Chain A
Amino acid sequence: MYDIESLYEAQSVDDAARALAEDPLAVIIAGGTDVLVKLREGKGTPAHLVSIHELGGELAGVSLAEDGTVEIGPLTVFHDVTVSPIIQGTVPTLGEACDTPGGPQLRTSGTIGGNVCTAATSADSASTLFAYGALLDVRSVRGERTIPIEEWYAGPGRSHKERDEVLVKIRIPRERYEGFTGHYFKYGKRRALEITTMGCCCLVKLAADASTIEDIRLAFGVAGPTPMRALAAEDAVRGMGVAEAAEKIGELAAACTNPRDSWRASKEFRLQLIKEMSKRSLIEAARRGGARL
């Protein structure tokens, strides 16, 4: 049993926004896999919950807009992102990333929106959404606004979404995925039920010769307090041959990340992972794009 003071099942997104505005202590619960764990630890108790769990009709599902934008309802559970034909046809690396959190039960309860809203650096979908340059639409009684994912994170576990705002859509415009192939590499100490020790997403667009990197995006989780892009590393290898880039990307990536030392892994070990995983992700992403390596 959880220490819950009030539980309101919202009837619609607008209803949820209204409920959040009316109770200054209220917070959203969606899949429950993060919020309930925190409540059990005594964090945020007694809780005032506005549940959007049952708003699947309005908030779950993946669609492709006419302009090619991939639109993901934030209440879509990880598993449904992974198996969505739209995802597989447009942003398959995101589907791959959503196949890695926890175990199967978590992936049918945990939502992609929740993964973004809890704003953990270790969130498995976050680095990939970062690489794809996702746009996050939020709504409150004050109206709707869009926050690019680059501006979403305020710090570990904190986002710039206000407490009373509901994430209503995750959008990936066509130009941000078209022509890219990618690879998400989750490093955990086990093969399942893992908090990511290091997460790395590499997207590459190869030139017509299938061996030159025309464009690249390299994003990490757990390489810093929030998910991040290794922009300087990207700039340095853009225009380079894949083989040479693979040689160099590791050191370049390490130079623009700042992982922490903790009892879970030392800084030195995390830097080693950043180097090795950047390289392997780049090679795999390029291979998927037709590079022969």
Chain B
Amino acid sequence: MEKLREVGRPVPRVDAFDKVTGRAMFTDDLCPKPCLEAKLVHATIGNGRVVSIDTSEALAEPGVVAVFTCFDVPDICFPVAGHPWYADSKAEKRDLADRKLLDDRVRIYGDNIAVVVGEDSVACARGVSKVKVTYEEWPVVYDAQESLAGTEHPVQERCPDNLLAHSLAVTPDEKLAEQGYDSVEAVLADPRYHHFSAHIESREQSQVHIETCVSYCYEEGGKIVCVTSTQIPHVVRRVIGQALGIPWGQVRVIKPYIGGGFGTKQDVHYEPLNAWICQQIGGRCVKLEISREELFWDTSGRQPKSFDVEASVDDDMNLRARSIVAYSNTGGYGHHGHALVLNSVNSFRWLYHGQEFATRSEAFTAYTNGPHTGAMRAYGVPEGNWAAECLMGDIAYDMGWDGVEFRLKNVYTDAFVDEFTPGGVIAAHTCAIPECVEKGKAYIEWDKKRAEYANQTGPVRHGVGVALFVYKTAVAPFALETATAALTLNQDGTVQLQMGATEIGQGADTVFSQMAAEAIGVDTEDVHIVSFQDTDVTPYDSGAYASRQTYVSGTAVKKAGLTLRRKILDYARFLYPNAQGELTLRDHHVLDALGHPVCDLKTLALEAYYNLDRADQLHAHETVNVHTNAIAGGCTFADVTVDMPLGKVTVNKIINVHDSGTLINPKLVEQQIHGGMAQGIGFGLYEEVQVDPKTGRVLNSTLLDYKIPTSMDVPDLKADFVEKPDPTGPYGNKAVGETPVISPAAAIRDAILNATGVKFYVEPMTPQRLFEGFKREGLI
């Protein structure tokens, strides 16, 4: 393979300068002030329906311009998940449509039932407080299994049993018969093996991007323009069109820089309502900003889940069978549907499928009156990983085995192909897990610390722990993967790059620029990427999610880059028909077969633009349809101190080592790993949206009570990687954006187990739960 020049370089981020000077524009920074503002009226019951709304007092409030209620909006249900849409030929693949702009059916506490438009935020707040609502109130159900037992009023009318979906994947009978069994249960129950089981839970994590959800809309040129903080501008355009019942071309969505998304902004939350309000008030500019508190229940967090897991393992550390039954609580709305818990149980299966010959994964997604949930970084996999690793940790602990050795014996290898995915698309083309584990072990001093921490007594103890993880790259073959990149040669020999794929802080713009430069044969500094998306001019891409962009959109960039390179060289041939042999492009020059300069790129570009005989604005616009997938993986090792009487865990040292194929920019990968690790530590120890099961109300909807780690709560975070190029990635790359969040929680759990011998099954392991566990075991 030719040596890569731009890919693999730790080039500075293309957006860093603008961001440190305050010049990078986010949605509200662009909003013309003063403008009208809108503020939602939320239901104060958790289940029932709105009987009537009296808006007269609100309308009388000075500065209130309009009040719209659930009885005013169009009776259209629309989908909100950030996924591709499908034509009628594949209608069954479409996301479910269960949202209305405002709804008189109250499914969750705080549901959106009206909206006040005012001249400023104070007028809006006063108006909201004056809206009088009459309800018919029904009992609230928050527990998923309780909900599936049936409720008098189904949460969603079209699902009378509150079951959004059920799935089951079991090793086929013929494969079981080969081993002499007639069921997975029989393998689990075989007395020759050791049997393990556990009930495991994970709670709702919130994304907590520092920029809230904000958009503003106005009409211009007969169209609705929506400027919004989103990961998925093209999806927003489509959903606004669907929700308002207008042609999609009449909607223009602009996405500036965004202050984090982590999956929240992979849903279309309020843009359709904002656009509709704008329509109602004559196209005047109106801003809709969701407050910090509203974000906790009125956007979609990570689904709470419970898992019942089982395993049988032989004396030689070989897993023989594992089973998982998962219940997922999607809350009052479906949004991303069953896909999230499928990711949980699939990743549970994939990770340690090396030696076992029987597997069973069953999943239920239930509607309840809890807050609706959706995508969050790594999309169901951290929960499945928590379940898989709790089980592995227990087995190693109870059997007295080295946790690393046991895991390596059973982990997937480069021979792994998921037997349940048609076409064998989910496969590990490469696997660097053993090398990753070696690095992690060395950093954390695994063997030394395991020996040192054996047989501790006293109230404060130390432990080291490990967890591995697995993740797929993008969403093929389950859903459409397509992307487009557009490149134009400028007069000065530099290029413009325009993507439908979005920069959301993860560094997409920088790695796209590097990949374009690599493919064309110029420097990254010669690539000018247009960061903002504007659906009127930006090519289509489904957006930032599923760790898909570098893999899928990157494939489009490479293809467009190679096309532009070919066009440049063709034009050089036209200009210099006598140049010797095959031409190439390097160091801003076209070179002949002997390596002699034929012309510089700038000269060529000027000719291309202004040649009297054959002017040609050299450009490339390439769409790709990606049908492959690539399994990525890695591990976390953690060293902790546990102060049992105080219910406190301190993470002293932690490392993530990633097998993500080729790194397009190692410094940017390191950034992703750091941030994911901190979110993973939060997932393991701190973060939980607490819901009152009686009312469905979120109790801790502030940044004080919902605890993301501060700079004092994380130790120095060590990021490392092992590079094995993946044959399917455009430059050997595979998923990395989401993966760092997956395994820290389980590694910390394993370290606590090592320190204290206490097994925790509910994440997050908050001080309250740690206290209860140590008390239960008689340690305090």
- Decide: B771 and A193 in contact? CB cutoff 8 A: no
- What sequence of 0s and 1s flags, for each residue 7-48 of chain A, a beta carbon within 8 Å of any chain B beta carbon? 000000000000000000000000000000000001001000
Distance of A144 Cα from B713 Cα, bound (Å): 45
- What sequence of 0s and 1s flags, for each residue 171-191 of chain A, a beta carbon within 8 Å of any chain B beta carbon? 000000000000000010111
- What sequence of 0s and 1s flags, for each residue 752-780 of chain B, a beta carbon within 8 Å of any chain A beta carbon? 00000000000000111001100100001
- Decide: A190 and B699 in contact? CB cutoff 8 A: no
Determine the main DSSP class of A at the interface with B: loop
CB distance from B208 to the nearest CB of A (A): 12
18 A-B residue pairs with CB within 8 Å: A3-B122, A3-B126, A189-B686, A190-B686, A190-B712, A191-B713, A192-B710, A192-B711, A192-B712, A193-B703, A193-B704, A193-B710, A194-B704, A263-B699, A265-B768, A266-B768, A272-B780, A276-B645
CB distance from A96 to the nearest CB of B (A): 16
- What sequence of 0s and 1s flags, for each residue 700-744 of chain B, a beta carbon within 8 Å of any chain A beta carbon? 100111010111110000000000000000000000000000000
CB distance from A247 to the nearest CB of B (A): 14
- Decide: A195 and B646 in contact? CB cutoff 8 A: no
Q: Look across to chain A and name the residue whose beta carbon is closest to the beta carbon of B129.
A: A42
Chain A residues with CB below 8 A from B780, complex form: 272
A68 lies within 8 A of chain B by Cβ: no
Q: Look across to chain B and name the residue whose beta carbon is closest to the beta carbon of A2.
A: B122
Distance of A269 Cα from B768 Cα, bound (Å): 7
A103 lies within 8 A of chain B by Cβ: yes
Distance of A272 Cα from B774 Cα, bound (Å): 12
Chain B residues with CB below 8 A from A149, complex form: none
Chain B residues with CB below 8 A from A189, complex form: 686, 707, 766-767
A264 lies within 8 A of chain B by Cβ: yes
Distance of A264 Cα from B126 Cα, bound (Å): 30
Chain B residues with CB below 8 A from A254, complex form: none
Chain B residues with CB below 8 A from A272, complex form: 645, 647, 771, 775, 780
Q: Look across to chain A and name the residue whose beta carbon is closest to the beta carbon of B767.
A: A189
Distance of A192 Cα from B686 Cα, bound (Å): 13
CB distance from B663 to the nearest CB of A (A): 32
Chain B residues with CB below 8 A from A266, complex form: 768
A273 lies within 8 A of chain B by Cβ: yes
CB distance from A153 to the nearest CB of B (A): 22
Given contacts A191-B710, A191-B713, contact A269 B705 (CB under 8 A): no
> What is the total of A-B residue contacts with beta carbons within 8 Å?
60
Known: A3-B125, A265-B767; 12 extra A-B contacts, CB below 8 A, are A189-B686, A189-B707, A190-B710, A190-B713, A193-B704, A194-B704, A195-B704, A263-B692, A266-B768, A269-B771, A272-B647, A272-B775
Chain B residues with CB below 8 A from A192, complex form: 710-713
- Decide: A103 and B699 in contact? CB cutoff 8 A: no
B355 lies within 8 A of chain A by Cβ: no
Chain A residues with CB below 8 A from B703, complex form: 193
CB distance from B770 to the nearest CB of A (A): 10
Q: Which 3 A-B pairs have the closest CB atoms?
A: A191-B712, A276-B645, A192-B710
A1 lies within 8 A of chain B by Cβ: yes
Chain A residues with CB below 8 A from B713, complex form: 190-192
Q: Look across to chain A and name the residue whose beta carbon is closest to the beta carbon of B650.
A: A191
B120 lies within 8 A of chain A by Cβ: yes
Determine the main DSSP class of B at the interface with A: loop
- Decide: B704 and A187 in contact? CB cutoff 8 A: no
- Decide: B710 and A269 in contact? CB cutoff 8 A: no
Q: Look across to chain A and name the residue whose beta carbon is closest to the beta carbon of B703.
A: A193
The B76-130 residues at the A interface (CB cut-off 8 A) are: 120-122, 125-126, 129
**Listed residue (B646, B692, B700, B775) with the most chain A CB atoms within 10 angstroms of its CB:** B646
CB distance from B647 to the nearest CB of A (A): 7
Distance of A54 Cα from B780 Cα, bound (Å): 50
Chain B residues with CB below 8 A from A265, complex form: 767-768
Chain A residues with CB below 8 A from B690, complex form: 263
CB distance from B521 to the nearest CB of A (A): 49
Chain B residues with CB below 8 A from A273, complex form: 646
CB distance from A195 to the nearest CB of B (A): 6
Q: Look across to chain A and name the residue whose beta carbon is closest to the beta carbon of B704.
A: A195
The A216-251 residues at the B interface (CB cut-off 8 A) are: none
Given contacts A192-B710, A193-B704, A263-B699, contact A269 B122 (CB under 8 A): no
The B654-673 residues at the A interface (CB cut-off 8 A) are: none
Distance of A189 Cα from B704 Cα, bound (Å): 10
Given contacts A193-B704, A263-B700, A272-B780, contact A187 B120 (CB under 8 A): no
Q: Look across to chain B and name the residue whose beta carbon is closest to the beta carbon of A41.
A: B293
- What sequence of 0s and 1s flags, for each residue 272-292 of chain A, a beta carbon within 8 Å of any chain B beta carbon? 110011000000000000000
CB distance from B461 to the nearest CB of A (A): 15
Given contacts A190-B712, A191-B710, A193-B703, contact A1 B120 (CB under 8 A): yes
Chain A residues with CB below 8 A from B129, complex form: 42
Distance of A190 Cα from B708 Cα, bound (Å): 9
CB distance from A283 to the nearest CB of B (A): 13
Q: Look across to chain A and name the residue whose beta carbon is closest to the beta carbon of B645.
A: A276
The A55-107 residues at the B interface (CB cut-off 8 A) are: 103
Distance of A192 Cα from B780 Cα, bound (Å): 26
Chain A residues with CB below 8 A from B771, complex form: 268-269, 272
Chain A residues with CB below 8 A from B704, complex form: 193-195
Chain A residues with CB below 8 A from B686, complex form: 189-190
- Decide: A269 and B712 in contact? CB cutoff 8 A: no
Chain A residues with CB below 8 A from B766, complex form: 189
The A188-213 residues at the B interface (CB cut-off 8 A) are: 189-195, 197
CB distance from A135 to the nearest CB of B (A): 31
- Decide: A1 and B122 in contact? CB cutoff 8 A: yes
CB distance from A99 to the nearest CB of B (A): 13
**Listed residue (B647, B699, B705, B766) with the most chain A CB atoms within 10 angstroms of its CB:** B647
**Listed residue (A103, A190, A197, A263) with the most chain B CB atoms within 10 angstroms of its CB:** A190
CB distance from A19 to the nearest CB of B (A): 23
Given contacts A103-B710, A190-B710, A191-B712, contact A276 B646 (CB under 8 A): yes
Q: Look across to chain A and name the residue whose beta carbon is closest to the beta carbon of B682.
A: A190
CB distance from A13 to the nearest CB of B (A): 30
Distance of A266 Cα from B647 Cα, bound (Å): 13
CB distance from A194 to the nearest CB of B (A): 7
Chain B residues with CB below 8 A from A276, complex form: 645-646
Q: Look across to chain B and name the residue whose beta carbon is closest to the beta carbon of A269.
A: B771
- Decide: A269 and B647 in contact? CB cutoff 8 A: yes
Distance of A276 Cα from B779 Cα, bound (Å): 14
Distance of A155 Cα from B266 Cα, bound (Å): 46
Chain B residues with CB below 8 A from A263, complex form: 690, 692, 699-700
Distance of A21 Cα from B647 Cα, bound (Å): 49
Distance of A192 Cα from B703 Cα, bound (Å): 12
Chain A residues with CB below 8 A from B692, complex form: 263
Chain A residues with CB below 8 A from B710, complex form: 103, 190-193
CB distance from B642 to the nearest CB of A (A): 14
Given contacts A2-B122, A3-B125, contact A195 B712 (CB under 8 A): no
- Decide: A190 and B709 in contact? CB cutoff 8 A: yes
Distance of A276 Cα from B703 Cα, bound (Å): 28
- What sequence of 0s and 1s flags, for each residue 280-314 of chain B, a beta carbon within 8 Å of any chain A beta carbon? 00000000000000000000000000000000000
Distance of A11 Cα from B126 Cα, bound (Å): 31
